[in-house]
Amino acid sequence: MKQDVIARGAAHSSIIHDSAEKHVTGQADYTDDLTLPEGTLHAYLGLSTVAHGRISRMDLDAVRKASGVHLVLTADDIPGVNDISPNGLHDDPVFAFPEVQFHGQPIFAVIAETRDQARRACKLAKLDYEELPFALDAMAARDAGMGYVTKPLTLSRGDMAALDAAPRRLDGRLTVGGQEHFYLESQIALAIPGEDDEVVLHTSTQHPTEVQHMVAHVLHVPANAVVVNVRRMGGGFGGKETQMNLFCCVAALAAKRLKRAVKLRPDRDDDFAITGKRHDFVIDYDVGYDDTGRIHAVSGDFYARCGFSADLSGPVTDRALFHADNAYYYPAVELRSHPMKTNTCSNTAFRGFGGPQGVIMAERVVEDIAYALGRDPLEIRKLNLYENGQLTPYHQEVEDQILPRIFEELEASSDYHARRQAVLDFNARAKSMGGTIRKGIALTPVKFGISFTATWFNQAGALIHIYSDGSVHLNHGGTEMGQGLNTKVAQVVAEALGIDIARIRITRTTTEKVPNTSATAASSGSDLNGMAALDACRQLTQRLTAFAAEAKGLTPDDIQIGETVRMGGEDMPFADFIKTAYIARIQLSAAGFYKTPKIHWNRETGRGRPFYYYAYGAACAEVSVDTLTGEYVIERADVLHDVGRSLNPALDKGQVEGAFVQGTGWLTTEELWWDKQGRLRTHAPSTYKIPLASDRPKIFNVDLADWSVNRENTIKRSKAVGEPPFMLGISVFQALNMAVASFNGYRANPRIDAPATPERVLMAIEALR
């Protein structure tokens, strides 16, 4: 049934984020802003001060006696299992004892009248350790024989004899740094005890269902006793997919023991120390190619610093392999992951989920080839792009390739070729005149697979109530972390019901309304929850249409639900119609469900179709480098990105811009630095530098490929947007390499490691001078 009136706020319109006015007025409540129940206590965590050791003495007497302290919790106080491993490997304790495995690992918790008291009391603990050998990074772990935290993966396809047979050959090592999420709102949990074994949590997690299960396991109660609520997060980026489990479990444990509400919010420094980050990788690659620049074979070993436990390192390192081809066809390929155990925080999900680390290897490889052949890297990129029908290293057929058109349009809109020549001319002039500034330009693509590789996560639910006054209450299993998911799903509902979006109230995500949800992750939020909401809308419109047709003696085709309900020649306001339906005892609530079709993946054989579809994009970035200091400026970035038929172009553009800048941060100034004792010394914004407004591209042109339509039947033919554009920041990284390569006449890729801090850039220049 076609609507002839487009509802205000319907899909594809650029309406504002549903919380925008609350954000700017300070009225949007985050967990730390909630009004606390009377008698709420505050918890704080006591952390390990060694990277690896066995606790030989733990004297907490002074802690217990400190002012305001009610309770101290250790591993002994856990009624259920002392484990919050999200993967069943039982390697992730709430409280470490007797062995501690990284500097900053939680050992105990203090619950006191105030947060300040709890925090100060933690400092009074007297712990002695028998210190044990430790390894901090992936290569040290390999040398020390630390082993894997989880089972590695090999992807292979084609005959690897092609590597030796290729006319040309190169190999190299790429070290690519990790990244701290730096969500502006740190981890936080508020637990409110209920009767019997019940507990309610208010928190900031991307995965309420997992928190529910973890709390249940730790408390040794059934999942139905635990309710987890999330209104909104102050940023997530993957850092709140599993990492909130710890904080929720501690708060819930304390709340049940004391029968009082308990809040736990670590200081930013402790948040940095405790929680996992993007995995850093050391990647060894070996490539066979020919004189034209065509790749024949690629072999790659991906060593990841996973930290002390597996957490999500399995799927993260898998995804690094899945994206080690980026957009390029490798006729023969063998890729091996090495998820190394290290004595550091347990690295976790972060926007792109290992994908960026795979993509950057592919981009390094094409640049290596281009420099070796004296060609524009863009030519090598275009030469090796997938054609539909070709197989990825995991044997999925590429069917939706649109990069040639994206390249063509971006080359034109960014004036790439003329500007590359201008950059070459500028550098030649600088070389002859002794100028201190050098420039670089690069145009790089992304192809990103959309779906959870754990196939069963690709399901979602939604719950829609229409109250008898015609107001609509929308709930789904996804969580809002700023990406505008709630707005987008409400747009889907507004359009499906033909009603004004103002009629729809989007409420907090809660395990009470939609059960067994997946994490809001893998860019899947709108794809999954939008479809589930649409399913609920279908049920409601079917019921309401059937009711109206029967009541008026019409056929369903004569009925149109909307702000004005049309029944043959008769019009009725939505609210009045709903009232009539209620009186007629029509069910005005529906639960929707969705599961992604077509996908399957067999990790044992390394074959399948793990991804429903691919999202594509490309960016052209130009940089200027100060060759006396290594500092740089992004002069201009042009982005053309594919979100299919956008559900909300304004919100999607915001995702693309934000992802691009976050991606450049990963590859430029964001550097994680552990000292020799294993203590993270870049532990807060004073020492860990994410981009500022004055670091964004000076000229920043971002366009959506508005002609793109998802060939798969996704929600309104849109595509996922959260992660893919993150990898467009690689264009900046490659442009920096080009500026440095001007010192060797572009004869070899200078191969700067990531992040390309001013120091790495200057030292690369100094090495070539």
Partner 1 sequence: MGGTIRFLLNDTEISLTEAGSRDTLLDFLRLNRRLTGTKEGCAEGDCGACTVLVGRLHHGRLHYEPINACIRFLASCHGCHVVTVEHLRGPQGLHPVQAAMVEHHGSQCGFCTPGFVMALYGLWMQNPRPDMLAVETALQGNLCRCTGYEPIVKAAFAASQAGGQNFDALTVERDRVTAWLADLPRQRVTVSRGDDRAILPADAADLAQVLAENPKATIVAGATDVGLWVTKFLRDISPAVFIGHLQDLKHIQITPGQISIGAGVTYSEFEPFILQHFPEALDYWRRIGGWQVRNAGTIGGNVANGSPIGETPPLLIALGATMTLCSAAGTRDIAVEDFFIDYGKQDRRPGEFVQAIHVPLRGDARIAAYKVSKRHHADITASAAAFHIETDGATITDARVAFGGMAATPKRAANAEAALRGQPFSAETFEAAAHAVANDFTPLSDWRASAEYRQTLAANFFRRFWLEQSGQDHRLRRVE
* Residue choice 158, 172, 194, 234 for contact with partner 1 (CB under 8 A): 234
Cα–Cα distance for residue pair 130/56, rounded to 1 Å: 6
Should residue 629 be labelled a site residue for partner 1 when binding is judged by CB under 8 A? yes
Interatomic CA distance for residues 266 and 183, integer angstroms: 13
Residues 539 to 598: which contact partner 1 by CB under 8 A? none
Applying CB under 8 A, the span of 178-186, 327-335, 581-589, 732-740 interacting with partner 1 comes to: 178-186
> What's the min distance (Å) between Cβ of 478 and partner 1?
14
Instruction: Determine, following the binding rule CB under 8 A, whether residue 432 of this chain makes contact with partner 1.
Output: no
ω into 98 cis (within 30 of 0): yes
For partner 1, give the closer residue by CB, 237 or 394: 237
Residue 55 parent element (H or E): strand 53-59
DSSP conformation letters of 468-494: TTS-EEEEES---SSS-HHHHHHHHHH
Q: What is the DSSP letter of 318?
A: H
Angle, alpha carbons 84-86-92 (nearest 5°): 40
Q: Give yes or no for residue 61 binding partner 1 (CB under 8 A).
A: no
Asked whether the beta carbons of 290 and 296 are under 8 A apart, the reply is: yes
Query: With CB under 8 A as the contact rule, which of the stretches 46-54, 255-263, 410-418, 434-442 interacts with partner 1?
Result: 434-442
Instruction: Report, in Å, the least distance between residue 632 CB and partner 1.
Output: 7
Work out whether 99 is an interface residue with partner 1 (CB under 8 A). no
d(CA 189, CA 448): 33
Distance of alpha carbon 235 from alpha carbon 2, whole angstroms: 38
Nearest to partner 1 of 580, 682 (CB atom): 682
In our burial notation (b when 16+ CB lie closer than 10 A, e otherwise), range 424-435 reads bebbeebeeeee
Nearest distance from C-beta of residue 704 to partner 1, angstroms:
14
- Tracing tokens 């690896």 back to the chain, one arrives at 52
Single out the segment in contact with partner 1 by CB under 8 A; choices: 305-313, 333-341, 591-599, 625-633: 625-633
310/625 with CB nearer partner 1:
625
* 476 contacts 528 by C-beta, under 8 angstroms: no
The one among 39, 404, 435, 573 contacting partner 1 by CB under 8 A: 435
| CB of 519 closer than 8 Å to CB of 469 | no
For residue 343, the minimal CB distance to partner 1 (Å) is 18
The CA distance from 661 to 667, in Å, is: 10
Active-site pick, 512, 635, 723, 766: 723
- Taking residues 387 to 426 in sequence order and writing x for each that binds partner 1 by CB under 8 A, - otherwise, the string is ----------------------------------------
Q: Is 483 a residue that touches partner 1 (CB under 8 A)? A: yes
Among 624, 646, 714, 742, binds partner 1 (CB under 8 A): 624
In the 3-class helix/strand/coil scheme, how is 386-425 assigned residue by residue? CCCCCECCCCCECCCCCHHHHHHHHHHHHCHHHHHHHHHH
Please list every residue from 133 through 162 that binds partner 1, using CB under 8 A. none
Among 44, 183, 308, 350, binds partner 1 (CB under 8 A): 183
Burial class (CB in 10 A: 0-12, 13-18, 19+), 738: buried
- Residue 431 lies near partner 1 (rule: CB under 8 A): no
3-class SS of residue 763? helix
- Choice from 669, 714, 718, 749 touching partner 1 (CB under 8 A): 669
How far the first Cα of the chain sits from its last, in Å, is 70
Residue 686 in the binding site for partner 1 (CB under 8 A): yes
What tokens were used for 441? 């330009």
Least spacing, CB of residue 24 vs partner 1, in Å: 4
State yes or no: residue 12 binds partner 1 (CB under 8 A). no
3-state secondary structure 354-378: CHHHHHHHHHHHHHHHHHHHCCCHH
Total of residues contacting partner 1 (CB under 8 A): 91
Q: Annotated catalytic, 113?
A: no
The candidate with the shortest Cα–Cα distance to 63, out of 137, 119, 136, is 119
753 binds partner 1 (CB under 8 A): no
Query: What is the C-alpha to C-alpha distance for residues 443 and 617, in angstroms, rounded to an integer?
Result: 11
Q: For residues 164 and 759, which CB has a smaller minimum distance to partner 1 in the complex?
A: 759
Angle between helices 525-552 and 485-497 (to 10 degrees): 20
Q: Which stretch binds partner 1 (CB under 8 A): 16-24, 68-76, 452-460, 746-754?
A: 16-24
Among 393, 691, 724, 750, binds partner 1 (CB under 8 A): 691
| Cβ neighbours around 45 below 10 Å, total | 26
Instruction: Using DSSP, state whether 146 is helix, strand or coil.
Output: coil
CB 249 within 8 A of CB 218: yes
In angstroms, the CA 141 to CA 137 distance is 6
Q: Pick the closer one to partner 1 by CB: 258 or 763.
A: 763
Q: Judged by CB under 8 A, does residue 747 bind partner 1?
A: no
Nearest to 284 by CA among 335, 222, 326, 333: 335
Residues 699-728 within binding reach of partner 1 (CB under 8 A): 700, 702
Q: Check residue 676 for interaction with partner 1 (CB under 8 A).
A: no
Q: Does 91 bind partner 1 (CB under 8 A)?
A: no
Q: Which parts of 253-282 interact with partner 1 (CB under 8 A)? A: 267-269
Give, in order, the Cα–Cα distances in Å from 324 to each of 54, 313, 359, 577. Answer: 39, 16, 5, 55
Decide if residue 696 touches partner 1 (CB under 8 A): yes
Q: Scan for tokens 């630390």, then name that residue.
A: 146
Q: Give the footprint of partner 1 on residues 107-136 (CB under 8 A).
A: 119-120, 123
SS3 content of the chain, % helix, strand, coil (to 5): 35, 25, 40
Q: Is 526 in the site for partner 1 (CB under 8 A)?
A: no
Least gap, CB of 685 to partner 1 (angstroms): 4
- Does 428 sit near partner 1 (CB under 8 A)? no
Site for partner 1 (CB under 8 A): which residue of 107, 533, 659, 720? 659
Beta carbons of 204 and 234 less than 8 angstroms apart = yes
Q: What track of x and - describes contact with partner 1 for positions 297 through 336 (by CB under 8 A)?
A: ----------------------------------------
Geometric angle at alpha carbon 273, from 259 and 153, rounded to 5°: 105
Minimum CB–partner distance for residue 544 and partner 1 (Å): 34
For partner 1, the closer CB: 287 or 661: 661
Compute how many other C-beta atoms are within 10 angstroms of the C-beta atom of residue 305. 29
**Binding residue for partner 1, selected from 68, 172, 194, 235, defined by CB under 8 A:** 235
Largest CA distance in the chain: 88
Q: Which of 304, 365, 481, 752 binds partner 1 (CB under 8 A)?
A: 481
- Interior angle at CA 718, CA 207 and CA 541, nearest 5: 80
DSSP code at position 720: -
The verdict on 510 binding partner 1 (CB under 8 A) reads no
Q: Is 345 among the residues that bind partner 1 (CB under 8 A)?
A: no
- Of 632-651, which residues contact partner 1 (CB under 8 A)? 632-633, 650-651
Q: Give the amino acid at 589.
A: S
CB of 513 to partner 1, least distance (A): 22
In the complex, least distance from residue 22 CB atom to partner 1, rounded to whole angstroms: 7
Q: Is 662 in the site for partner 1 (CB under 8 A)?
A: yes
Return the number of the residue (67 or 516) whose C-beta is nearest partner 1: 67
Interface residue with partner 1 among 177, 440, 482, 678 (CB under 8 A) is: 482
Per-residue binding letters, 192-231, with partner 1 (x by CB under 8 A): ----------------------------------------
Q: Which stretch binds partner 1 (CB under 8 A): 70-78, 561-569, 713-721, 756-764?
A: 756-764
Asked if residue 25 binds partner 1 (CB under 8 A), the reply is yes
Query: Catalytic residues, which ones?
Result: 723
